[in-house]
Amino acid sequence: MNEKQLKEEKEKYTNDLRLTILENSLFHEYLITQSLGDILEIDIQSSYSLSDKGSALSLASKINLLIDLKSLDKKQKPKLFFYLEIRNQFLHNWKCKTFEDCFKSLEGTHKALKKLYPSEEDWDAERQMTFQYNSLSDDIVDIAINHLTKNVINAKAKREIQKKDLEKYKKMRSEVIEYAWDLLNSSELSKYDIPFDDKRKLISSFMDRIFK
C-alpha cells in the first residue's frame, strides 16, 4: 500500500468513525428525549425544551435533568458523561481523527473505561479503545431503553396512585362535610337555632382540623 492509499484509508476510517459516533449520538439522544417526555408528561412535538426546535435543551442538559429527577443511579451517571465527552471530541475537535486522538484529551475517561470494559491485551490500542466505546454505547442504549423505561412506568403508576388518592380524598372530604352538615341540622341541635353562617364556619373549622 503506497502513501496515497494509506492516507485515503485513514481518511475513510476517520469519516466512517465520525459518522458512526454521530448516528449513535442521535439515536441515544432520541431515546433519552422520549424517556424525559414520558416521565414529565410533556408533548415532545410542541415542547420548547424537548422538540427539535432551536430552543431545545442540549444533550448535556437533558442528562442533567435526568439526574435532577433522580432517574439515574450512581453507576449510570458517569457513563453518560463519559459518552458525552467522547461524542464532543469527535464532533467538535477537528484534530480528533481516531480513538487514540480522542483519549489523549480524555485520559481520566479512558482510565475509567479500561476498568469498566477490559479488553484483550494482545489487541492494538485503537482496537481496544473501539471495544471500550462500543461497550459504553451498548450500556447507554440499555440505560435509555431498560432503566429509563422502568422509571417511565413507575412515574405513570405513581401519578395514577396520586390521582386515585386525590379522588378518595375528595370523596372522603365530601362525606365528612355531609355528615357534619346533617349533624348541625339534626333535631338534637336544632333547638339551639344556630345561624346558617355560623354553621358554615363551624364546618370549615372542623374540616381544617381533620384535613390539615
157 and 53, same domain (yes or no): yes
Mean pLDDT of 85-114: 95
71 and 47, same domain (yes or no): yes
User: What's the total number of domains in the chain?
Assistant: 2
Q: Tell me the whole-structure pTM to 2 decimals.
A: 0.70
Nearest residue to 136 via CA among 120, 113, 109 = 113
143 and 112, same domain (yes or no): yes
User: pLDDT digit string (tens) for 141-194?
Assistant: 888 877 666 666 666 666 666 666 666 666 666 766 675 666 666 655 555 566
Q: Please count the other Cβ atoms lying within 10 Å of the Cβ belonging to residue 12.
A: 10
Cβ within 8 Å of residue 149, ≥6 positions away: 35
Cβ within 8 Å of residue 28, ≥6 positions away: 59, 83, 137, 140, 141, 144
pLDDT of residue 201: 65
Quote the domain boundaries for residue 184. 164-211
pLDDT of residue 202: 62
State the average pLDDT for the chain: 82
The per-residue b/e assignment along 15-46, b for 16 or more CB within 10 angstroms, e otherwise, is eebeeebeebbeebbebbbbbbbbbeebebee
